[in-house]
């Protein structure tokens, strides 16, 4: 609600200027605007009038969600917004069955056109819809881009300035759906067609056609894609604007024309006219010897003849001659250069102006409402939108500003009358005495302008019509003679010395309601006459262009009556507009431009003060505040503030008026501060409301604390009761479950024990119902026990003992499990490990249970060689040649005769074994010549390599000792393929000494330590400790 925002008034101002304490201060008014503008709050009320400041940026306040927020809501229940005004008018139309109108005013660039668009969009989204209604909605929305293209232009103040006034009726059926519309246009700025000030542009449609038109279209129209080629488009020296995309806008306009219902032929003829205006601007004249004008641009005449559908020679003559009727005779008078240029420009303005009127009528045809059941019946209700120029004061003010400001005087007069009328009606309906309000009645100014025979418009018309040399100066002189004594009229001649310094001799000043404005009379007569030479009219009436035949009626030629002047036409249309507005319930939107640079966030106080003055906002506020600043229905007021009085809190059950009376008495309101009406309370001063709102803000804290405590207590109590009830329910439920589970377990246990005992009794008998459970349990127990105690490795031979019935099954399972473990183990081993295992298997075959130190060798890995390449002499490697060393080990060799120990190296290759002494190959033993290998069963490392004694290369069997005897002999046996030729002897080993066949003997005995020495009997004695008992 509006009241809820009052606590933040220091930061964001008040939402309604009526609540300003110092309401007569313009500075306070503007400061409130500034506060809200800085917070992006662009809307503020003056009572029911909406003041809108153009933000010059997109604000996220126009979404569908925002529309729904304002739909059907009381005007003051939500923050100020254009949607609130739109919805309020719509609901008033529906409930009161009375036509409404929304008057949008403000100077160029203040956002009037955008405001009217927002209103149309709001109705398009929120009103009931059907297929037919959707078509009407589309046409209403699409009429905007078409009218903007033909009636808007870039000015110094606004890139999309409406250069005409527009009143649009939106027609609704009995369901509240938009079913039609009608547009009235006022005072199109036709002079812009032929002239633009520096930095301004012609109407948008010309640039859109040149930038967006297809190549074929431009070629047919004889146009180039360059605005600089056309005289009517170069005078402002501003062909392109950064904020305008003419190419995209052209597509939008073409689409809109189709939606509205223009046929292709109509669009073609319309574009022909637009192109013809550009060609007219390029028609050039030159003077002959007599000073008469001659056309020098024949090409343009050819294009014009084709585009306008007229005879080229007739057009050429009409542009250079003037038809004069004297005493019933028609004479052709040649035109000089200045007159010919005037005729050309007059034709351009007339063609464009009348085409614009035709365009508006065409749009009206497409929007017209026809009841399908009762075609003659009008629509149920209407909402009018008036988007019209605001009060204008420029450095140089001319005829257009005079008409515009006259229009604003009339609107201000209407506004004050209707505002006072609505205020008076509300006071009377509530039974409150109406106090007359002092205000400036601008009827005196309106009469000065429009009064018959004495008004400025009458004098202007009279000067235009009188014979003789009438001019703008003679018009000014006549004004001085006729209205010179008027209190609101001043000229240079009539002014005092101080005023003369700021006024030109060709100016007159009017003291408008909004301030003083100086008008320059130059051009007043020409613009008021707005004449088109008769022969030009005749040519246009002969046009084959169907649009122009409607614009230039042939009846004009036969009508002897002089057409009304522009000022009179405007005065009459304005009078009709006033009648329309008086017949409707008005709402007002006042638009303000924050700066001339079109910059977001910039607040130009001087410019805004100027607009506040010219929009009459302070006068409006003063009238609204003349009585009571605030009024609300009893129900709303009591509902908001009842907590401030113990008697009305928390609920009041009596009459609302009595409740409000008790409440204000408790709050200490003085009798002069308020009045109680029939259904509303009226508060005179904003400070009274502010004090009440501040008291409510303080009261809210204690209320919040009380409510929080009560709510928390209630919440905790409710929570405890729920928890307690839930706990009892869960406990009962859980106890029942536990009891049922316990009974079920006991029953199951008894049955299990009974079956187990019976099965144990019958366990020796064949399977039968009595023992099947017991047997199954025994099997299950065994299998589960087996699952828990399966062997972890291949070497683990443990296996649970099976019951008799599963003995065979157990064996099968054991066999399968072992196979699986072996398979898994084999799958995991790599080639190196496989080779290691193969060697260990060979060692096991040879030495297991035969050689005493074999068990100690089992956990030790065999290495690929006990000698590295650095330990073998390079000469030996060179001597080996192609024989690559597979294994090398340091050994001790015992001589055959004296058994002297000598260090040697045993090298194994692919085909033979070598015994090496440092760098010499002492002996080569081919594997094929190796007859066998002998080794003792003790833990010593001696072994004998038996070679044939017939071999001259050999010197007998070789006696060697190795610290790694198991590994060495395994390598030799595998390399020589002599696994089965290794003899493990007990007691002694015989070996051959030399080539003579003499034998040597090695005796082996057990002892405490290893001793190797020659015995007295000549044998080699080896004593070795026993490591394992066999």
> What amino acid positions are annotated as catalytic residues?
108-109, 113, 158, 161-162, 390, 392
The number of angstroms, rounded, from the C-alpha of 164 to the middle of its chain's C-alpha atoms is 36
Pairing, β 1020-1025 against β 998-1007: parallel
Structure tokens at 527: 């613009």
The number of angstroms, rounded, from the C-alpha of 940 to the middle of its chain's C-alpha atoms is 92
What is the helix (H) or strand (E) element at residue 707, kind and residue range? helix 686-761
Q: Show the DSSP H helices in 762-885 as ranges.
A: 772-788, 807-828, 831-847, 854-857, 874-880
- 337 contact partners, CB below 8 Å, separation of at least 6: 285, 286, 287, 291, 293
What angle do helix axes 204-212 and 246-260 make, rounded to 10 degrees?
100
Q: Where are the beta strands (DSSP E) in 86-227?
A: 100-106, 152-153, 161-162, 165-172, 178-186
**Cα–Cα distance measured from residue 635 to residue 659, given in angstroms and rounded to the nearest whole number:** 9
**Cα–Cα distance measured from residue 700 to residue 713, given in angstroms and rounded to the nearest whole number:** 19
Are 588 and 49 in contact by the 8 Å Cβ rule? The answer is: yes
Q: Environment class of residue 284 by beta-carbon count within 10 Å: exposed (0-12), middle (13-18) or buried (19+)?
A: middle
**Cα–Cα distance measured from residue 50 to residue 971, given in angstroms and rounded to the nearest whole number:** 111
Peptide bond before 650: cis, by omega within 30 degrees of 0? Answer: yes
Are 449 and 406 in contact by the 8 Å Cβ rule? The answer is: yes
Residue closest to 315 by CA, chosen among 344, 281, 277, 351: 344
What angle do helix axes 456-465 and 472-483 make, rounded to 10 degrees?
140
DSSP class of 923: E
**What residues form DSSP beta bridges with 933?**
945, 982
What is the helix (H) or strand (E) element at residue 216, kind and residue range? helix 215-221
Neighbours of 298 (CB within 10 A): 10
The number of angstroms, rounded, from the C-alpha of 77 to the middle of its chain's C-alpha atoms is 30
Are 992 and 1009 in contact by the 8 Å Cβ rule? The answer is: no
What phi and psi values does residue 868 have, to the nearest 5 degrees?
-85, 165
Pairing, β 321-326 against β 932-936: unpaired
Q: What share of the chain is helix, strand, coil (3-state, %, to 5)?
A: 50, 15, 35
Can you tell me whether residue 23 is helix, strand or coil? coil
| CA angle, residues 748, 753, 754, in degrees to nearest 5 | 100
């Amino acid at each position: 609600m509006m009241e809820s925002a009052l606590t933040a008034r220091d930061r964001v101002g008040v939402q309604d200027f009526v609540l300003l304490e110092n309401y007569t201060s313009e500075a306070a008014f503007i400061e409130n605007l500034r506060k809200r503008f800085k917070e992006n709050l662009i809307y503020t009320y003056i009572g029911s009038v909406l003041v809108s400041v153009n933000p010059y940026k997109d604000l996220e306040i126009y979404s569908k969600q925002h529309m729904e927020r304002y739909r059907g809501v009381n005007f003051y229940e939500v923050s100020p917004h254009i949607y609130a005004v739109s919805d309020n008018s719509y609901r008033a139309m529906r409930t009161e069955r009375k036509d409404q109108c929304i008057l949008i005013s403000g100077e160029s660039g203040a956002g009037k056109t955008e405001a009217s668009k927002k209103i149309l969009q709001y109705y398009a989204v929120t009103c009931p819809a059907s297929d037919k209604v959707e078509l009407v909605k589309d046409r209403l929305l699409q009429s905007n881009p078409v009218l903007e293209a033909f009636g808007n232009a870039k000015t110094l103040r606004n890139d999309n300035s409406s250069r005409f006034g527009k009143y649009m009726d939106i027609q609704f059926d009995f369901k509240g759906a938009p079913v039609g519309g009608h547009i009235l246009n006022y005072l199109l700025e036709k002079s812009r067609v032929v002239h633009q000030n520096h930095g301004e542009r012609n109407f948008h449609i010309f640039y859109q056609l040149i930038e967006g038109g297809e190549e074929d279209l431009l070629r047919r129209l004889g146009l180039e894609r360059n605005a600089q080629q056309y005289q009517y488009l170069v005078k402002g020296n501003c062909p392109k604007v950064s904020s305008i995309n003419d190419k995209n806008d052209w597509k939008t306009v073409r689409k809109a024309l189709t939606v509205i219902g223009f046929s292709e032929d109509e669009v073609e003829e319309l574009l022909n006219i637009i192109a013809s205006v550009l060609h007219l601007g390029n028609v050039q004249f030159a003077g002959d010897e007599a000073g008469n004008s001659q056309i020098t641009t024949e090409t343009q005449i050819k294009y014009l003849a084709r585009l306008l559908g007229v005879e080229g020679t007739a057009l050429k003559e009409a542009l250079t001659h003037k038809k004069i009727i004297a005493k019933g005779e028609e004479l052709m008078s040649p035109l000089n250069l200045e007159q010919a240029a005037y005729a050309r420009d007059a034709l351009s303005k007339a063609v464009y102006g009348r085409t614009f009127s035709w365009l508006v009528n065409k749009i009206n045809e497409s929007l017209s409402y026809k009841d399908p059941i009762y075609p003659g019946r009008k629509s149920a209700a209407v909402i009018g939108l008036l988007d019209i120029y605001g009060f204008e004061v420029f450095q140089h003010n001319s005829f257009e500003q005079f008409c515009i400001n006259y229009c604003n005087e009339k609107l201000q007069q209407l506004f004050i009358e209707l505002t006072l009328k609505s205020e008076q009606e509300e006071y009377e309906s509530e039974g409150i005495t109406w106090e007359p309000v002092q205000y400036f009645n601008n009827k005196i100014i309106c009469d000065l302008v429009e009064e018959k025979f004495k008004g400025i418009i009458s004098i202007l018309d009279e000067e235009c019509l009188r014979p003789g040399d009438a001019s703008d100066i003679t018009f000014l002189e006549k004004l001085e003679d006729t209205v010179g004594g008027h209190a609101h009229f001043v000229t240079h001649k009539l002014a005092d010395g101080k005023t003369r310094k700021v006024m030109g001799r060709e100016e007159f000043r009017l003291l408008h309601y909004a301030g003083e404005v100086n008008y320059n009379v130059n051009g007043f007569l020409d613009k008021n006459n707005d004449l088109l030479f008769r022969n030009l009219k005749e040519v246009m009436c002969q046009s084959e262009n169907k649009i122009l035949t409607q614009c230039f009626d042939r009846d004009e030629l036969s009508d002897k009556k002089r057409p009304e002047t522009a000022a009179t036409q405007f005065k009459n249309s304005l009078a009709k507009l006033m009648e329309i507005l008086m017949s409707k319930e008005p709402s007002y939107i006042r638009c303000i431009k924050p700066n001339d640079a079109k910059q977001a966030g910039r607040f130009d106080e001087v410019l805004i003060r100027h607009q506040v003055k010219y929009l009459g906002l302070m006068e409006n506020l003063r009238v609204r505040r003349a009585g009571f600043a605030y009024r609300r229905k009893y129900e709303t007021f009591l509902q908001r503030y009842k907590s401030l009085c113990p008697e009305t809190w928390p609920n009041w059950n009596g009459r609302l008026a009595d409740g409000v009376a008790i409440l204000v008495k408790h709050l200490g309101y003085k009798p002069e501060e308020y009045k109680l009406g029939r259904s509303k309370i009226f508060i005179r001063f904003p400070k009274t409301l502010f004090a009440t709102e501040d008291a409510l803000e303080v009261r809210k804290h204690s209320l919040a604390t009380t409510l929080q405590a009560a709510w928390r207590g209630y919440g905790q109590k409710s929570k405890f009761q729920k928890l307690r009830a839930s706990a009892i329910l869960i406990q009962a439920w859980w106890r029942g479950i536990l009891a049922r589970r316990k009974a079920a377990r006991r029953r199951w246990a008894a049955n299990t024990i009974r079956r187990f005992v019976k099965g144990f009794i019958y366990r020796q008998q064949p399977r039968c119902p009595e023992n099947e459970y017991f047997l199954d349990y025994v099997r299950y127990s065994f299998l589960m026990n087996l699952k828990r105690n399966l062997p972890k490795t291949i070497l683990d031979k443990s296996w649970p003992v099976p019951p008799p019935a599963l003995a065979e099954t157990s064996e099968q399972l054991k066999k399968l499990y072992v196979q699986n473990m072996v398979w898994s183990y084999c799958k995991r081993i790599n080639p190196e490990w496989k080779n290691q295992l193969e060697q260990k298997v060979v060692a096991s075959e040879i030495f297991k249970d035969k050689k005493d130190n074999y068990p100690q060798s089992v956990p030790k890995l065999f290495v690929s060689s006990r000698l590295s390449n650095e330990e073998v002499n390079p000469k030996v490697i060179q001597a080996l040649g192609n024989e690559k060393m597979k294994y090398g080990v340091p050994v001790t060799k015992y001589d055959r005769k004296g058994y002297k120990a000598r260090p040697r190296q045993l090298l194994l290759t692919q085909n033979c074994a070598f015994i090496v002494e440092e760098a010499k190959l002492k002996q080569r033993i081919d594997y094929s010549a190796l007859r066998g290998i002998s080794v003792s069963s003790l833990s010593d490392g001696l072994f004998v390599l038996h070679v044939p004694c017939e071999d001259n290369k050999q010197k007998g069997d070789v006696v060697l000792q190795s610290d790694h005897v198991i590994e060495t002999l395994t390598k030799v046996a595998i390399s020589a393929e002599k696994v089965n030729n290794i003899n493990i002897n007990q007691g002694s080993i015989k070996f051959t000494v030399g080539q003579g066949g003499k034998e040597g003997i090695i005796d082996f005995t057990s002892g405490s330590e290893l001793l190797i020495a020659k015995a007295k009997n000549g044998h080699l004695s080896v004593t070795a400790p026993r490591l394992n008992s066999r």
